[in-house]
Amino acid sequence: MDTPPGAIGVETIGMTKRFGAFAALDDVSMKIEAGGFHALLGENGAGKSTLVKCVMGFYAPTAGSVLVDGREAEITNPKGAQARGLGMVYQHFTLVPSLTGAENLVISRADAPAILDWKAERAALSAFMAGMPFRLNLDRPVAELAAGEKQKLEIVKQLYLKARFLILDEPTSVLTPDEAEGVLGLLRAMTDRGALTVLMISHKFREVETFARSLSVLRRGRLVGGGAVGDLSRDDMAAMMIGERVVRPIAARIGVPDAAREILRIEALDATDASGLRRIAIADLRVRAREIVGIAGVSGNGQKELADVLGGQIRAAGGRVAVAGEPYTGRRAQSRARRVRFIPEEPLRNACAPRMSVAENLAFRAFDRRGEDPSGPPTLWLDRGAMTRRAKDLIARFKVKTASSEAPIATLSGGNVQRAVLARELTDPVDLLIVVNPCFGLDFAAVSEIRTRIVAARNAGAAVLLISEDLDEILELSDRIVVMSDGRLVYETAAATAEIGTIGRHMAGHH
Amino acid sequence: MVADTAPSSLTVAPSRSSAFLRIRAWLARRSEAVAIPVGAAALGFLLFGLFLAALGKSPVQLVDIVWRGGFGSPFALGNSLQRAAPLLFAALCVALPARLGLVVIGGEGAIVLGGLAAAAAAQPLSALPALLAVPLMACAAALVGAVWIGSVGWLQAYRGVNATISSLLLSYIAIALANHLIEGPLRDPTSLNKPSTLPVGDAFMLGPMPVIGVHWGLGCGVIACLIAYGLMDRTTLGFAARIAGGNVRAAQIQGLPVGRLIVGFTALGGAFAALAGFFEVVAVQGTANGTLAAGYGYTGILVAFLARQNPIAIVPVAFLLGGIEASSGLIQRRMQLPDATVLVLEGLLFLVVLMSETLYGRFKLFNPHLWAEKRAPVPSARVPA
């Protein structure tokens, strides 16, 4: 097991992938030189993942071919891609949590024997690791590794499998800024030595500018531009990604937080998730009227548990959550009386019943009120007529694209599901709005529209608690930023004076 | 990512949807729930026909016998309807929890305990007039069934115990408990070779309904199905249950009392199943004995799944299955087939119906949202971008 002998170049020629008559990828020809560090930019749904999946053999392209090192390569499955030295690191982890790093590496090998000689494997692994840019402890179970270490292990795994062309799908979405810089810097160094070629899917201009040497931009399945990094400004790149579409600017925050009206107050909150492994301890958190408080943090530092407590999904073991001075546990009567709305992340998974219709999903908040009027008196009889009327009204007002109000909500795109959820939750006056990763996985247009609605709710006087793993989103929307790390709130700053480096250090747990 | 991009091509202009298109879409959406189970049942019968042919028996003769034994004469019809009555209740015990996403398969236990409770209640109530005592016996049965199956719901909602497994195991316990009581403390000393409780007495026995000539369990069963339908589809409680069944996280975030909904609807299902036992005692057997565990609870599972957990659809399906079961004796005698033959048929039907569950939302014909699209996205095939 020696280090890869050298980088290979990959070229796609006229790559096209159709699903029925819909072209997810339309005649994309792109060349990535051996030893290059190439960035692939594009909105959600622009065809980036489809392109790399075609290269990796997950999809059979409708037309087009792949050249590996100048020779046509018929890659029909990921194994074939691996055999040719192509490897891919996914956004989500693919390691077995209960196994150690070493075990994960060895079992991933296609030629691993049925009975392992661990002594020999270990010797081979330490020889292999000596040539790696990353230092990793391979004897610890993966479950105990931090996200950055896991991501490094994923990359090491590909190199161990002799990948000389590495595809990274948004590799830094789970890392702190420092970790991201470390990992990408080391990969860049490998490409500079000619040991590796990297193709990186990314949303982050800063990363692309710092680490990539060249870039391509996809829009609606077509290659719309590209070139050397440095020749293109951020505005150029954004313009290529978005095209001619008009993106609504986010409404400005109007007015200042109402210091006298404290809406949400959390004191000495103590809670544990269902598995009992993750504990949060929130000493003190307050959100005032007309204020957006952003909770920043790397995924898995207790944000989900905090959201679950506020959404009534897990019960606090101790402490106090109060809304407008009264205890709050997320019960329906409480959220109605105190006008609390909760918009969870991944709305299709957490806020909708996928197989129920759009109209039914839109009715979740008001179905038990007479005439589907959220402020009406309670009723035992379901009013289907009112349900459909209200659904049609909301679909029109929030521009939800759907075949009909009777279509199952699972048939809508992510942006339209989120629009439907916002339509349901934000149509009446709101005092407290809790949102979790509201723009995760949505395209530009949907993102700006949804952020505008959140700011509009704030301007109208709502207290907003924004829990997000997207630091840019936090910086853009918040009045005040609080950093969450290891289940605690570790740092607080006014957004106006926020400094990214300091926030990043606290996110990483260095404080 | 593919799934993300697809719906952006989903542009059905409202202007294009004329009245005709709207009616077509409405019809299409509603016919799926009929066409797929009917198709699945047809396939099940076809497979059973092949099974018979492989045994050297004539499938045509079987159809003839089922017709004559289950539906062909007033006597056969009466027999089928009498068997359909407990199936209606038993199927509700599956269909109600199913709306909350629970698969409860232990209705048999609630039927047995319900029958036993009714028979046991008859003795202390014997001084009362029948008009008062019989409803009280029904209440006793329903209460026992509600507690029994409600505890399945409680275990699921508050202790995370799988409802399918707990309901099945509890039904074994229920049957064992009932046998113990029937053969021990509650045994009628005069019941020699067939241990039974004391007879409820002729005064407390229900006669046949007018015109149809079948006992009142049938009429009450149909009414129970109508009530269940109204509850599920016309009340806010039923809608809340469907939200919880559709996505329990979404229901929690909406602040719905998911635990109480689960306990309430499983308890109601158990109460219905227990009424099946009640009617077997007061309208058929006259006493509680081992024949209460005749398998109605298990056939009821098949009825509920064939009916797509729709309380209204349970009525015709229960009638059909009642007919098949009624003809089972004739099948044995005329075709020299073992009595397990009908079980083979029911098993085949069940398998095919379960497999057909994956077909919903796939046929363009039934899914208007696919009409405008160029390809068929299957929700389960969504890949994270």
Q: Which pLDDT does position A129 carry in this prediction?
A: 87
Token duo for residue A456 = 């509009």
B25 pLDDT more than 80: no
d(CA A21, CA A228): 34
Handedness of CA A128, A130, A133, A138 (dihedral sign): positive
Instruction: For residue A392, give Cα distances in angstroms to A23, A148, A362.
Output: 30, 46, 10
Give A477 to chain B, closest Cα distance, Å: 24
Cβ pair B385:A20 closer than 8 A: no
Burial of A233 (0-12, 13-18, 19+ CB in 10 A): exposed
Please report residues of B whose CB lies closer than 8 A to that of A356.
242-243, 246
Please report residues of B whose CB lies closer than 8 A to that of A412.
7, 10
Interface A:B, Cβ pairs < 8 A: 161
| 3-class secondary structure per residue, A146-195 | CHHHHHHHHHHHHHHCCCCEEEEECCCCCCCHHHHHHHHHHHHHHHHCCC
B295 φ, ψ (degrees, to nearest 5): 95, 5
Low-confidence residues in chain A, pLDDT < 70 = 1-5, 20-21, 44-45, 173-174, 203, 242-251, 275-277, 441, 443-444, 508-511
Q: Three-state SS for B204?
A: helix
Give B310 to chain A, closest Cα distance, Å: 15
Please report residues of A whose CB lies closer than 8 A to that of B257.
331-332
* Phi-psi region at B361: left, alpha or beta (left = phi > 0; alpha = psi -120 to 50): left
Q: Which pLDDT does position B380 carry in this prediction?
A: 42
Specify whether the CB–CB gap between A202 and A229 falls below 8 A.
no
Q: Which pLDDT does position B13 carry in this prediction?
A: 44
Which chain A residue is nearest to residue B379, measuring alpha carbons? A410
Cβ pair B375:A24 closer than 8 A: no
B3 pLDDT more than 70: no
Q: Which pLDDT does position A510 carry in this prediction?
A: 57
User: Residue B376 — pLDDT band, cuts 50, 70, 90?
Assistant: very low
Cα angle vertex A491, ends A489, A492, to 5°? 105
Q: Which pLDDT does position A443 carry in this prediction?
A: 67
d(CA A348, CA B120): 51
B7 pLDDT more than 50: no
d(CA B355, CA B241): 25
Q: What is the pTM of this model?
A: 0.74
Q: Which pLDDT does position A128 carry in this prediction?
A: 87
Count CB-CB contacts under 10 A for residue A134: 17
Q: Which pLDDT does position A277 carry in this prediction?
A: 65
Please report residues of B whose CB lies closer than 8 A to that of A52.
none
Beta strand A326-327 pairing with A318-323? antiparallel
Cβ pair B361:A408 closer than 8 A: yes
Identify residue B59 by its one-letter amino acid code.
P
Q: Which pLDDT does position B128 carry in this prediction?
A: 87
Mean pLDDT over B125-154 rounds to 94
In this prediction, what percent of chain B has a pLDDT beyond 90? Answer: 51
Q: Which pLDDT does position B87 carry in this prediction?
A: 96
d(CA A357, CA B18): 21
B10 pLDDT more than 50: no
Count CB-CB contacts under 10 A for residue A127: 12
Give the DSSP letter string of B12-58: --GGG--HHHHHHHHHHHHHHHHHHHHHHHHHHHHHHHHHHHHTT--
- pLDDT tens digit sequence for B308-320: 899 999 999 999 9
Interface subset of B 196-235, CB within 8 angstroms of A: 233-235
Which has the closest alpha carbon to B6: A24, A416, A242, A359?
A: A24
Please report residues of B whose CB lies closer than 8 A to that of A381.
234-236
Mean pLDDT over B297-310 rounds to 92
DSSP state of B68: I
Q: Quick check: B159 contacting A, CB < 8 Å?
A: no
Cβ pair A350:B257 closer than 8 A: no
Q: Which pLDDT does position B15 carry in this prediction?
A: 47
d(CA B205, CA B344): 35
Q: Which pLDDT does position B339 carry in this prediction?
A: 79
Q: Which pLDDT does position B263 carry in this prediction?
A: 97
Cβ pair B255:A335 closer than 8 A: yes
Q: Which pLDDT does position B47 carry in this prediction?
A: 92
d(CA A138, CA A153): 9
* Phi-psi region at A486: left, alpha or beta (left = phi > 0; alpha = psi -120 to 50): left
Please report residues of B whose CB lies closer than 8 A to that of A22.
5-6, 9, 373-375
Give B289 to chain A, closest Cα distance, Å: 41
- pLDDT tens digit sequence for B91-116: 999 999 999 999 999 999 999 999 99
Q: Three-state SS for B243?
A: helix
